[in-house]
């Protein structure tokens, strides 16, 4: 017999409390605890299921071929395509391109002869038709279902048995036997669990499109990310052309991989050479405050232009603004420049930007950020054919970074001739081609070499 009780759940992170709280104890947001009914189940204990434990060595796995979506960057991000029964959660800002990518993937699969079911809870069939015409995504194998009742969706899945199911979005789905309105923590959890369970039983790949909160996390309970096999996040500003799709979880492939797309009038297009997209245009004159770094994203390396600008502060407290890099990391590097190198910035505004909407968080970008700031302060440009790859410690020392050879190969492929690296990396690095390695032990030595000749 089921009995109902009242609980309060956070709309941002899904944390629950038996009483109302003004501030969520988990995520710290104010006025996000909403009242909803929780269901507790009682009764006699269940009997053992028909499944029995078995030795892992005795389990046989039928070789299942990956299902290619036809979008190369997406297939690579998924680990070689969709696996049978694979559940993928896609999140991102409004207007970033989630629905566009899903419709394009469904169209590519439909053209290959695989029936696809696109469940839309936010758009009418006519709206879907208009978007499909703009993207030239029209095929008889692409089925559109405007439905928000998850049991009705499951009934259509069992009847149509499509080769791919897309639910856009999971926050619009509801179950009549679960209390709460669509989008609440309980509804999102139960609806996602129902869809994932069915698609795994039928071995159908499933895409779930998810809303995100103001903090950038996928709305609903955190368990939503645990239930699926792969979590993809769209990054970038919807006002910019480039979109970055990052895999933060993948049971069937590597994590921390990224795929780069460009938003055009006809939809998302793959960027074949992402490094070239984030670098200055050919023929551009050297300017101060610009450094090129080689960031490792999963198994690939990307060259990114870092720009820094220093200016005399017009107010008592100097401004510190960063875009695309970690603010705390930049603050640390400014302190190292002050204490270990003797570059005073206490009366200067400092602005740091990663070009192209790219977000770089790894420590290997430290050297590039630091020399870009120093270059702007002295108004001396850095070498155009050089990349900077090293972590900077609090003592001003340069530390080794992983995947150096991968970064060097990418830089050499794009015509760079020299690389400023940590001395510890040079002991293991293998110099290839015409790339010249310039190893240093401290940040001060690098700045002395490139700016104070």
pLDDT at residue 2, as a whole number: 43
pLDDT at residue 54, as a whole number: 85
pLDDT at residue 30, as a whole number: 85
Are the C-beta atoms of residues 407 and 377 closer than 8 Å to each other? no
pLDDT tens column, 115-142: 999 999 999 999 999 999 999 999 999 9
Q: Flag residues of the chain having pLDDT under 70.
A: 1-5, 37-50, 62-64, 238, 281-285, 428-433, 453
pLDDT at residue 31, as a whole number: 81
pLDDT at residue 281, as a whole number: 65
pLDDT tens column, 146-166: 999 999 999 999 999 999 999
pLDDT at residue 291, as a whole number: 95
pLDDT at residue 3, as a whole number: 46
pLDDT at residue 434, as a whole number: 73
């Amino acid at each position: 017999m089921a009995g109902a009780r009242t609980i309060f759940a956070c709309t941002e992170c899904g944390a629950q409390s038996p009483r109302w709280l003004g501030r969520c104890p988990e995520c710290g947001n104010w006025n996000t605890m909403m009242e909803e009914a929780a269901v507790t189940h009682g009764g006699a204990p269940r009997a053992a299921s028909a499944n029995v434990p078995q030795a892992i060595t005795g389990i046989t796995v039928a070789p299942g071929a990956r299902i290619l979506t036809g979008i190369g960057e997406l297939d690579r991000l998924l680990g070689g395509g969709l696996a049978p029964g694979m559940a993928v959660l896609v999140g991102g800002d409004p207007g970033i391109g989630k629905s566009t990518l899903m419709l394009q993937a469904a169209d590519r699969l439909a053209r290959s002869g695989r029936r696809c079911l696109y469940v839309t809870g936010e758009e009418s069939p006519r709206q879907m038709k208009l978007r499909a015409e703009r993207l030239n995504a029209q095929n008889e194998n692409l089925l559109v279902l405007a439905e928000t009742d998850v049991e009705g969706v499951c009934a259509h899945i069992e009847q149509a048995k499509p080769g791919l199911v897309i639910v856009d979005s999971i926050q619009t789905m509801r179950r009549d036997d679960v209390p709460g309105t669509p989008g609440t923590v309980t509804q999102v959890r139960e609806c996602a669990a129902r869809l994932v369970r069915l698609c795994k039983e039928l071995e159908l790949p499933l895409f779930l499109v998810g809303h995100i909160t103001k903090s950038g996390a996928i709305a609903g309970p955190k368990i939503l990310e645990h239930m699926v096999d792969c979590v993809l996040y769209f990054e970038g500003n919807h006002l910019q052309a480039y979109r970055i799709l990052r895999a933060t979880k993948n049971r069937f492939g590597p994590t921390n991989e990224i795929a780069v797309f460009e938003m055009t009038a006809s939809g998302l297009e793959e960027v074949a050479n992402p490094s070239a997209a984030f670098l200055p245009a050919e023929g551009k004159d050297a300017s101060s405050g610009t450094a090129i770094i080689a960031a490792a994203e999963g198994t690939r390396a990307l060259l990114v232009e870092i720009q820094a600008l220093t200016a005399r502060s017009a107010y008592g407290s100097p401004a510190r603004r960063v875009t695309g890099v970690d603010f705390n990391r930049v603050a640390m590097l400014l302190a190292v420049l002050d204490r270990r190198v003797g570059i005073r910035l206490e009366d200067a505004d400092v602005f740091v930007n990663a070009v192209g909407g790219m977000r770089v968080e790894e420590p290997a970008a430290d050297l590039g950020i630091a020399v870009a700031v120093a270059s702007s302060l002295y108004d001396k440009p850095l070498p155009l054919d050089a990349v900077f790859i090293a972590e900077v410690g609090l003592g001003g020392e340069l530390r080794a970074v992983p995947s150096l050879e991968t970064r060097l190969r990418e830089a050499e492929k794009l015509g760079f001739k020299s690389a400023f690296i940590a001395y510890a990396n040079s002991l293991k690095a293998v110099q290839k081609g015409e790339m010249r390695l310039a190893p240093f032990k401290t940040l001060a030595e690098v700045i002395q070499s490139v700016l104070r000749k």
